[in-house]
């Protein structure tokens, strides 16, 4: 459904994506992982059109996304960046209502289906009783959950999220990623998420894209690509990868010297 084909991009003279080709399967949850500065965020920005590509194309169902108007694009792809900002006076409920903009007619507003999506999204992230609260009155974790609710309420076929659970407590990390996996498996949505935690990746993702120095090192099913060799090559980390409870677990190996440094 969504494919980057030989995409290259740069910030000024600094090349951040180098001939990247990757396909995100329909109805699959794909995690993009790799060390800081490897191009994970840049790949999402190139897909969204926020980072101009110098070569290659991004295709949606075989058609270049650069030919789609932004409203049409917003009906198909929802995007949550690392940092999101809104006016201080806006309430949580008003923020969520922005999710339906691409569906509204020129003279219409939110319909009953839209409002049901808004309510469901707030309940999902645990903010059902905070619709009237102003965004600037929320904690950092609550604000992040509100932004995630807005993305869910957009009800698009494809969801792109850049490190969506970094500021959340473990309970909400597991809850949000469980919900996102549900969206892909039950609702046939294509989900692409940048993650840093290898064990969250193995617990929730179907596929993984491993990036290094602006290139895709490998991609495909998690079980075939999260290996000690790949982790050592990309993260310079010695790990044991084993199966526990029908999922893979990545456990760093710490020798005596590394234990002393960690302490």
Instruction: Indicate the domain borders of the chain.
Output: 2-86+156-262
CB contact set of 106 (below 8 Å; sequence gap of 6+): none
How far from 52 is each of 25, 58, 115, 165, CA to CA, in Å? Answer: 23, 11, 35, 27
pLDDT in tens, 12-23: 999 999 999 999
pLDDT in tens, 186-211: 778 899 999 999 999 999 999 999 99
pLDDT in tens, 136-190: 898 878 888 888 888 888 888 899 999 988 878 888 888 888 888 887 887 788 9
Interaxial angle between packed helices 140-154 and 170-186, expressed in degrees from 0 to 180 and rounded to the nearest 10: 10
3-class SS of residue 80: strand
The CATH homologous superfamily to which domain 2-86+156-262 belongs is P-loop containing nucleotide triphosphate hydrolases (3.40.50.300)
Closest CA to 188 of 203, 210, 206: 206
| Site of tokens 């440094």 | 261
d(CA 208, CA 205): 7
pTM for the full model? 0.87
- Rg of the chain over Cα atoms, rounded to whole angstroms, equals 19
Ramachandran sector of residue 215 (left: φ over 0; alpha: ψ -120 to 50; beta: rest): beta
């Amino acid at each position: 459904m969504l494919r980057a084909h030989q995409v290259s991009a740069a910030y000024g003279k600094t090349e951040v994506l180098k001939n990247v080709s990757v396909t995100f399967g329909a109805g699959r949850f794909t995690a993009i992982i790799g060390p800081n500065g490897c191009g994970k965020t840049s790949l999402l920005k190139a897909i969204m059109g926020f980072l101009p590509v110098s070569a290659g194309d991004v295709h949606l169902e075989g058609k270049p996304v650069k030919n789609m108007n932004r409203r049409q694009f917003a009906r198909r792809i929802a995007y949550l960046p690392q940092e999101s900002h809104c006016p201080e006076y806006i309430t949580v409920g008003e923020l969520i209502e922005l999710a339906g903009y691409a569906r509204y007619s020129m003279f219409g507003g939110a319909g009953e289906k839209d409002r049901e999506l808004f309510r469901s999204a707030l309940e999902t992230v645990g903010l059902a009783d905070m619709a009237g609260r102003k965004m600037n009155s929320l904690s950092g974790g609550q604000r992040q959950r509100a932004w995630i609710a807005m993305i869910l309420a957009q009800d698009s076929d494809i969801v792109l999220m850049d490190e969506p659970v970094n500021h959340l407590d473990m309970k909400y990390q597991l809850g949000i990623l469980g919900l996102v996996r549900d969206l892909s498996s039950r609702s046939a949505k294509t989900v692409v998420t940048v993650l840093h935690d290898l064990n969250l990746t193995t617990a929730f993702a179907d596929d993984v894209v491993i990036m290094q120095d602006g290139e895709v090192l490998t991609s495909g099913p998690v079980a075939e690509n999260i290996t000690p060799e790949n982790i050592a090559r990309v993260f310079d980390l010695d790990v044991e990868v084993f199966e526990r409870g029908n999922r893979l677990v990545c456990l760093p190996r710490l020798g005596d010297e590394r234990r002393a440094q960690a302490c």
